[in-house]
Amino acid sequence: MSGRRDQHDAHPPIRTEPTLGDLDRLDAPRAPAADGLPQVSVEPRRPHGRAAAPPRRKRRRGWVVPFLLLLALAAVGTLWLSQNRLRGMLPRTDFNTVLTQAQQALQDGRLDGQDGTSARELFQAAAALEPDNDRARDGLRQVGQAELAQADAALQAGQIAQAVQQAAVARELLGGGSDIDRLDRAIAGARAAQVHTVDLVDQAQQALAAGKLDGPEGAGALYQRVLRADPDNAVAAHGLDQVGYALAVQARTALDAKDGTTADARIEQLAVLQPNNGALPALRALQAQTRKQDNSALEAALKAGQDALRAGRIDGSGDDTALVHFQAALKLDPDNAQARAGLGKVAQALTVQANAALDDGDTAQAAKLLDRAAELAPKSADLAATRARLDKAPPAAAAPTAAEEAPVAAVLSPQQGAAVAQLVQRAQVATNNGDIMMPPGDSAYDLYRSALAIDGNNEAALHGLQALPGQVEQQFNQALAAGNLGKAGDMLANLAELAPGDAAQGALGNRLASAWLDQAEQQLARGDRIGASQSLQRARKLSPSNPRVLDLGVRLQGGG
């Protein structure tokens, strides 16, 4: 033992670095050493005094495989649930291109079609690429709303067929709803109106065949109603052309016959129905020429009538009397106010002569003069009062003296006196109510005349009858101030009958004409050409030479 130690001490060992060796062969069965050295087994060290521990078992790693499998399943689930988000992270060139084209088509108003370029087709293509994409679904909803709006606009324009087609597309895209239901009801109403339009066309054609051109139920008005409901109705447009041609022919015929009243009416009707009718310019020119000629002759006749009145040539033989000249003026212009007033003055003059004849006891001459005056002014208040006086006058051979006239009034019985008082009271009430000349039998004029028929000398009845013109003028002013032009016109007509020669009528007529012209201006500003034309006609009858009448007539003709 000591010898080995000495040898070791004499030759110190060379240092060798430790190595791990082949770790993969730790658990492999040990083979005999290849280096020729004897195999040595080393037992592990254990603490002194303890028993030897049993050998450890080899650790198993079997949990690793299930864990990896569970991890793979979780990853697959996450990918499945997040597919939309992950898909959005990938490039989508085809989908985005189609969606962009669809949006552009929607903005351009190309909503539907069959060539693949409409908004509906493109949004549907985008939805086919990605069925769950919200942008494609929202685009189809926008197309449906746009189709609904266009259907409403088409219905308002009277294009029912187009509205029906677009409403069907909107219903398909939107799936129904309150707006679709409302549109369906509106389309149903329009279809019912269209059926009514067909009936109007039939009525208009019948009116045209019967020659009934003007008036609310005339062919012209009926065709206009059809065109307002259906502007593209070719039958109604052609029918209106036929009405315009017929009115132009009638106007030309009336102008050739010197019938200015009829010609004026037909020309105005034509201007209202067809402001751009090609015959209007020539008719207007001929109308102006005819009026100029007629106005010259009319002015001459009116002047001659006034001269004859001042000279006392009221009526009689020859052609240089006031009556002859004023009648000639009325032939030229049947609605001429000056000519009518001239005839009223002739009637007044004849009534004055009749009263003078009664004063002289010449009842026969008085009756003759009153009959002549009644032909010119049958409703004159002065004429009625003088007629009552004539009816109560005794025959010329038995004319009473002044002393015998007083007892005549006492002849009335109490019943007659009561009847006269009641008639006068009713006449006063009728006057206050404006019932001057109408209704027959219950008008103030008729009631006063009934009272005078019983008592021709009744002061209340005579005064009430002769005061009627003043009452009428007062009511005319009230109606005009209130804007009731129709009533004002009635009062002016009553005044023309009660006091045909009253000089105030001219001024009253001019005032009423201005009011009608004001109304015509307002109607024209609102687009009511028919109403404006009617108001203009009323103003023209009252004041034909008014400059505003001519100006408004030109504006109506030109559509301004």
Q: Are residues 345 and 444 in the same domain?
A: yes
Residue 407 has pLDDT above 50, yes or no: no
Give residue 8's pLDDT.
46
Q: Which of 41-55, 89-103, 126-140, 455-469 is predicted most confidently?
A: 455-469
Count the domains in the chain: 3
The reply to whether 36 falls in a domain is no
Identify whether residues 501 and 432 lie together within a single domain: yes
- Per-residue pLDDT, 251: 92
Q: Average pLDDT, stretch 451-471?
A: 88
Domain identity same for 340 and 463: yes
CA distance 534 to 520: 8
Note whether residue 26 is domain-resident.
no
Cα 128 to chain centroid, rounded? 48
Whether 135 shows a pLDDT value over 70: the answer reads: yes
* 443 located within any domain: yes
Instruction: Indicate whether 551 and 518 sit together in one domain.
Output: yes
| 478 in the same domain as 386 | yes
Higher per-residue confidence, 84 vs 552:
552
Specify whether 172 is located in the same domain as 197.
Answer: no
Domain ends where: 278, 313, 346? Answer: 278
Of 458, 441, 465, whose CA–CA distance to 392 is shortest? 458
Q: How many residues does the chain have?
A: 560
Distance CA 560, CA 545 (A): 21
Q: Are residues 165 and 220 in the same domain?
A: no
- Looking at the fold, whether 272 and 158 belong to one and the same domain comes out as no
Average pLDDT over the chain reads 79
pLDDT tens, 535-545?
Answer: 998 898 888 77
Asked if pLDDT for residue 519 goes beyond 90, the answer is yes
Q: What is the pLDDT of residue 316?
A: 81
pLDDT tens digits for range 331-386: 877 777 788 888 888 888 888 888 888 888 888 888 999 888 888 888 888 888 88
Residue 536 lies in a domain: yes
Judged by DSSP in three states, 495 sits in: helix
pTM for this predicted structure: 0.47
For the segment 438-449, what is each residue's pLDDT rounded down to a tens digit? 888 899 989 988
Average pLDDT over residues 193-200: 65
Predicted confidence at residue 245, as pLDDT, reads: 92
pLDDT band at residue 276 under the 50/70/90 scheme = confident
Is there a domain that residue 266 lies in? yes
* pLDDT of 112 over the 60 cut: yes
Same domain as 343, residue 445: yes
Residue at 185 is within a domain: no
Residue-wise pLDDT tens digits, 18-64: 554 554 554 545 545 445 555 555 555 555 544 454 555 545 556 66
| Token pair for 157 | 């324009």
Residue 327 lies in a domain: no
Give yes or no: residues 159 and 199 share one domain: no
CA 120 – CA 166 distance, rounded (Å): 12
Extract the runs of DSSP E, i.e. beta strands, from 449-508: none
Structure tokens at 389: 């006086």
pLDDT in the model for residue 557: 66
Q: pLDDT digits over 243-253, tens only? A: 999 999 999 99
Note whether 498 and 384 are within 8 A (CB). Answer: no
- The mean pLDDT of 124-128, rounded to a whole number, is 84
Q: What is the mean pLDDT of residues 416-427?
A: 91
Average pLDDT over residues 286-297: 80
pLDDT of 393 strictly over 90: no
Q: Report pLDDT for 190.
A: 65
Torsion of CA 551, 329, 337, 524, to 10 degrees: -20
pLDDT score of 56: 53
Range of the domain at 172: 93-176
